[in-house]
Each structure stands twice: as C-alpha cells, then as structure tokens.
Amino acid sequence: MRQAAAILAVVLVAGCAAAPPEAPPKVTPTGLAPTTAHIPPFARVPYEPFSRQAAVQIALGEWRAFRQPVVYPNVELPEDEEREEGLWQRVGLYWWIGLDPSWPQSGWTGIHDQYGQVFPASRDGFYAWSAAFISYVMRMAGAGSGFPYSETHSDYIDAAAEHAPGVLLQAERPEAYAPQLGDLICLWRGRRPVTFDALPAGRFPGHCDIVVGAKPGQLMVIGGNVDNAVAMKYVPVTPDGRLAGPDGVVLDPYYHWFVVLKVLYQRDGTPPPSNAISALPAPDSASASYNPAAATSRARPALIIASTNSGPRSSTLR
C-alpha cells in the first residue's frame, strides 16, 4: 500500500512538472489576436458595420475629454495632459482596447509601465501612444479584424501599401486624393525621409491624424500624443482639398505629410452636425492680438500628477 501511494505521488508530481507553459496568443496578419475578450462586445462582434461617422465622433469625444486643445506650429501646450488624473487612465484605455492584451504595451497608461510603476516625464517618448489612439478609434468604430492594430503607425501604413488581404485601408498619394472625413493623413518624422513610392518601407518613426472636419483650404485633424494630449491641428490644403499640388509639393510647411490612408468604411453615415466641432478660431496671421496658446474651450487646472523629474518634455510620436 505504501509503495503504491509513493508511486502515485511521483506520477502526480511528474505530471505537474511536465505541463508546458501556455504560449501567448499569436497575432493574425490583420492584427486581431485570438484573445479578444477584453474588447467590448459591440466592437468585438461588431454590432454595426464599420462607420465613418462613428470614427469621427469617437475621435472628437476623446478630444473633448482632453479639453479641446489646438496645436499650432512652434507653440507648445502648457501641460503634460497625459499625466493628469482622469486622462492618464484614458491613455490606458487606448493601449488596452487598441492592442492585443498579450503585448506588454497593453498594460501601459499615460504614466505607468506594464508593471504599474510610474515612469518619469523624461521617458514619455518611450511610451508614445499616438498609434494606440488611432487603433482605439478604429476598433471602437467597428473595424473588427479589418485594421492592423499596432503601437507603430508604420505597421498599418505598410499594410495599406501592400494591399494586405482583409485590411480596410488604401494608400493614396497626397497630390491625387482629397482626404475625406474619417480618413487618416500620415507624416514621417526623424532623420529618415519616407516617400510614397518607398512604401512599404518597414518600421519607421511616423504619425497619423484622423480627419474630423474640412472647409475650403483647410482640414481639421485630430491625433493622439500630440504634445502629450489628444489635440487638433489645422492643415492647409489645395482648393480641391488635397494635401499637395499637382507637382507633389505638400502645402503644409511644418509637417512631412506623405501618404493619405483612405479608410474603407462599410457604412458611410451622414456627415457629423456642424456643431460637432468646437467653434475654435482658425489661425489668422493678420491678427496681432490672436493668442494660439489660449485657443482652448476652458481654462486648464494645475497638474495633479507630476513627475519628480520633470526633464525635457517629449511629444514623440511612433
């Protein structure tokens, strides 16, 4: 009896030791991993077809949550909004919903790493969340498996250029296509120039904004991690709405826009109402009294969370 019990104990221990660790889920070519339980059912199924109007309204809603900042060239926003109470949590949602939960980045927030440790403001650039923001907007708008969710913009830019199967994106030349509401306009950044003809170009530093409004000569676009906030920019366009003229020269002298991603929405809703976009003043170089740094909907409160090491601010965009 004792011998049998001893043999049984050895077998049980051996069985426990032999169990291999569970492998992390693999990401499919379109970026949707088998583990999707963390995604709200309405976005996971999704309940409704991928909607242009939904994407625009979701982006505008996040912009309002950050108190509607507008970024102008060479004018920096006064605060690190991503580190404020109520806003670092929103950045955490972009990481959690926009990416697969098996990735370490899915546990990041506006101030925390995947272990819940606060990182110093001087390390903001390492935790750049602009691509996570776009991924979040696309996921919530119903893109399902049709968007290459990533923490790097170049991944979905390349997927569009490669005509990857099932990807609801189409790369367009800035001089050939006028961006529509809900489309993405993208720039390269850093020392390595990237051209449309070079796509797919592998991983490179870049940034994309979503078009949320348009009027003659100007687009209104919203992006994440723009000066450490969800912020709006005004982008000059040709009379017919293109980023570049027939010669391929981009009108915007401040940003390297080089590709437009036409988003292939499955349901085109009506344009958002005119009052959906805050009545912020357009830049007027002739007005000497205009103060772009003050062009927000309301006064900003003092920071609640601040790093002990303020360091240089970073608005690094992946």
Confidence of residue 215 (pLDDT cuts 50, 70, 90): very high
Q: How confident is the model at residue 283 (pLDDT cuts 50, 70, 90)?
A: very low
Taking Cα atoms as reference points, which of 132, 139, 156 lies closest to residue 54? 139
* Position 253 pLDDT exceeds 90: yes
The 8-class DSSP code of residue 205 comes to -
The answer to whether the CB of 85 falls within 8 A of the CB of 304 is yes
**What is the residue whose two structure tokens read 């199924």?**
45
What is the model's pLDDT at position 80? 83
With cut-offs at 50, 70 and 90, classify the pLDDT of residue 1.
Answer: very low
Q: How far is CA 159 from CA 17, 132, 146, in A?
A: 42, 16, 11
Taking the CB of residue 34, how many other CB atoms lie within 10 A of it? 11
Please indicate whether residue 275 or residue 138 has the higher confidence score (pLDDT): 138
- What b-and-e string marks burial along 239-251, b requiring 16 or more CB atoms within 10 Å of the CB? eebbbbeeeeebe
CA distance 229 to 214: 21
Distance CA 7, CA 10 (A): 5
What token pair was written down for 253?
């002298």
Tell me the pLDDT tens digit for each residue of 129-167. 999 999 999 999 999 999 999 999 999 999 999 999 999
CA distance 304 to 243: 39
Q: Residue ranges of the alpha helices (H) in the chain?
A: 2-18, 41-44, 52-65, 88-98, 130-140, 153-161
Q: What is the pLDDT of residues 8-60, one digit of tens each?
A: 443 333 333 333 333 333 334 344 445 688 899 999 999 999 999 999 999 99
Would you tell me how many other CB atoms lie within 10 Å of the CB of residue 55?
27
Q: Is the pLDDT of residue 286 over 60?
A: no
Segment 5-16, tens digit of pLDDT: 444 443 333 333
